[in-house]
Amino acid sequence: MLSGSQLAYESATSLRRRIAVKELSPRELVDGFLRRIEQRDPQVHSYLYVAADRAAEAARRAEQAVMDGRELGPLHGVPVAVKDLFDTQGIETTCGSPRILHGNVPARSATAVERLESAGAVLLGKLHMTEFAFLEHHADTPPARNPWDLARSPGGSSSGSAIAVAAGLATATLGTDTVASIRLPAAWCGVIGFKPTWGMVSRDGVFPLAASLDHVGPITRSVADAALMLHCIAGPDSRDRSALPNGSIRSEPAPRENFAGVRIGWDESYVTTDAEADVITVTRTALDAMLALGAEVKPIEVPSLDSTLNTFTSVFLLELRSAHVRFYPERSDDYTPTLRETLALASGFDPLRYVDASIRARAFRYQIDCLFDEIDVLLCPAAPSAATLLTGDQRRSSDVARGSGRNPLYPFRYTCLWNLAGTPAVSLPWGFTAGGLPLAVQLVGRRRADDALLSIAARLEAEAPDVGRRPPLE
């Protein structure tokens, strides 16, 4: 049984160990989570669908395997949930679009979901998200709320994935990240969000937002749990030709005593321009913590921010249009207003722009690869502010940027560049505002050096303030 809320906030690595030594019953653990979801989720709306019967049966099988002495998977009995963008066999998958994909029940699960279940994880259900992973939650779905302040946004598009982990409604979750969609909600909800190298995790069975920018990754309570989740889902996949043929991640971060020899890239202008004071302060504090442990700071310049945002926008819009040819414009009235308007804009783009943008994107990736010849990790904010009020959502942020003459993606400048570069990046909780809202920093690593980034992030995590603080839901 759940003892208070302790098990609801316990790490996946700890739960797996306790299950293996018969200290903890998978059935009681999952039953406790299902009860907790029933009691707490109406406050925050992290789930779109709770697979209670399926989870209970999976927990029963997990417990029997323990009793029979069978070999157990790395996530055996651990309760997880996935963003509604992932196909799930026998469970409706609406991608947060309850009108367009109503009644869509896939015949098979996405590769990442299959791999989680093969590793022994128990799927609790499907998690809330913005429609088709864009900017707005559909009006036909309940409002997703930040567990730290119910009047504030949890971020998107993987809203439910971050809420569920922060509120103790799942031990770990899967999300996707095209612009910021793992790292922003993780930052605003005070949990870990890891975007791996592009292609490290298969995108099979995941509805695309913009295929060359989409990344699949975990949201967890610790860096160690992120590594464990990635270890289970990373790797080549015959169903996804973009999956790296030799992609793999260690099951736990390599331990390190300090940051001796670690070169930190620091762009003063990139970090500080148009960011809130609290965000700048905590990012500097994280830098100081790394320097105190032997790291070296290397002044750098993030290349051509405005030009790169324009490149990103061209790639994004043309790939977005391609992803929706089945539904737009015939079903245009069923979309949220922002997505409908953006698809209309994308439909007016000359496809030849995609060729030019793709060339510029490759040049940017090369620039970033060269940058990482000089540094080991880049440190910057995960978001320019703490969580905004629900009335000040991501759409409004983009509208403000557009009205000021900036690219509408400017509010996501700390995150979307690394989607274009395809580099791994992690959002790491780092303290709170005076009003009790989580703040976060971001570490960015070299492409295909996910293990090295996880090792650095795990060591920095040990220095983070206010670890273990919980949302005021109990």
The answer to whether residue 19 sits within a structural domain is yes
- CB 313, CB 354: distance < 8 Å: no
Measure the CA–CA gap between 172 and 122, rounded to whole angstroms.
Answer: 11
Measured CA distances, 450 to 104, 286, 424 (Å): 34, 20, 6
Position 474 confidence tier, pLDDT thresholds 50, 70, 90: confident
In tens, the pLDDT along 251-296 reads 999 999 999 999 999 999 999 999 999 999 999 999 999 999 999 9
Nearest CA among 203, 173, 209, 205 for reference residue 87: 205
**Four-residue CA torsion sign, 411, 174, 99, 350:** positive
- CB 381, CB 441: distance < 8 Å: yes
User: Is 22 a known active-site residue?
Assistant: no
Measure the CA–CA gap between 156 and 66, rounded to whole angstroms.
Answer: 37
Measure the CA–CA gap between 161 and 159, rounded to whole angstroms.
Answer: 5
Look up the CATH number of the domain holding residue 430: 3.90.1300.10
Measured CA distances, 333 to 97, 99, 317, 338, 471 (Å): 12, 10, 19, 12, 37
The predicted structure's pLDDT at residue 3? 52
The predicted structure's pLDDT at residue 32? 97
In tens, the pLDDT along 158-180 reads 999 999 999 999 999 999 999 99
- CB 318, CB 343: distance < 8 Å: no
Nearest CA among 447, 440, 398 for reference residue 418: 447
The answer to whether residue 466 sits within a structural domain is no
The predicted structure's pLDDT at residue 209? 99
Q: What angle do CA 394, 264, 175 make, to 5 degrees?
A: 35
User: Is 83 a known active-site residue?
Assistant: yes
- CB 381, CB 442: distance < 8 Å: yes
Position 400 confidence tier, pLDDT thresholds 50, 70, 90: very low
The predicted structure's pLDDT at residue 130? 98
- CB 168, CB 5: distance < 8 Å: yes
Which is the catalytic residue, given 25, 46, 83, 161? 83
The predicted structure's pLDDT at residue 357? 97
Say whether pLDDT at 401 is over 50.
no
Say whether pLDDT at 5 is over 90.
no
The answer to whether residue 404 sits within a structural domain is yes
The answer to whether residue 472 sits within a structural domain is no
Which is the catalytic residue, given 181, 202, 222, 397? 181
The predicted structure's pLDDT at residue 394? 52
The answer to whether residue 84 sits within a structural domain is yes
Say whether pLDDT at 374 is over 90.
yes
Say whether pLDDT at 406 is over 90.
no
Question: Listing from the earlier edge strand, what are the strands of the sheet with 47-50?
Answer: 47-50, 122-127, 79-83, 172-177, 215-220, 192-195, 425-432, 438-444, 377-381, 263-266, 296-299
In tens, the pLDDT along 287-311 reads 999 999 999 999 999 998 999 999 9
Measure the CA–CA gap between 155 and 276, rounded to whole angstroms.
Answer: 17
The answer to whether residue 439 sits within a structural domain is yes
Measure the CA–CA gap between 235 and 249, rounded to whole angstroms.
Answer: 8
Measure the CA–CA gap between 95 and 92, rounded to whole angstroms.
Answer: 9
Rounded to the nearest 10 degrees, the angle between the axes of helix 26-44 and helix 12-20 is 150
- CB 439, CB 279: distance < 8 Å: yes
Measure the CA–CA gap between 401 and 341, rounded to whole angstroms.
Answer: 17
Per the omega criterion (within 30 degrees of 0), is the bond before 329 cis?
yes
What's the number of domains the chain is made of? 1
Residue 31: is it exposed, middle or buried by C-beta count within 10 angstroms (0-12/13-18/19+)? Answer: middle
Position 1 confidence tier, pLDDT thresholds 50, 70, 90: very low
The predicted structure's pLDDT at residue 473? 87
Position 470 confidence tier, pLDDT thresholds 50, 70, 90: very high
The predicted structure's pLDDT at residue 2? 46
Could you tell me which residues come within 8 angstroms of residue 93 by beta carbon, excluding any fewer than 6 positions away? 84, 85, 86, 87, 101, 104, 105, 106, 126, 207
This prediction has a pTM of 0.97
Print the domain residue range for 180. Answer: 7-461
What integer best gives the mean pLDDT of the chain?
Answer: 96
Please tell me the least confidently modeled range out of 136-145, 317-326, 404-413, 442-451.
404-413
Measure the CA–CA gap between 198 and 410, rounded to whole angstroms.
Answer: 22
Mean pLDDT of 224-243: 98
Measure the CA–CA gap between 295 and 254, rounded to whole angstroms.
Answer: 17
The predicted structure's pLDDT at residue 395? 52
Which is the catalytic residue, given 46, 109, 153, 157? 157
In tens, the pLDDT along 11-69 reads 999 999 999 999 999 999 999 999 999 999 999 999 999 999 999 999 999 999 999 99
Mean pLDDT of 381-401: 73
Measure the CA–CA gap between 460 and 309, rounded to whole angstroms.
Answer: 29
Q: Which residues pair with 234 in a beta bridge?
A: 201
Percent of the chain with pLDDT over 90: 93
13 residue type, one letter: T
The answer to whether residue 470 sits within a structural domain is no
The answer to whether residue 447 sits within a structural domain is yes
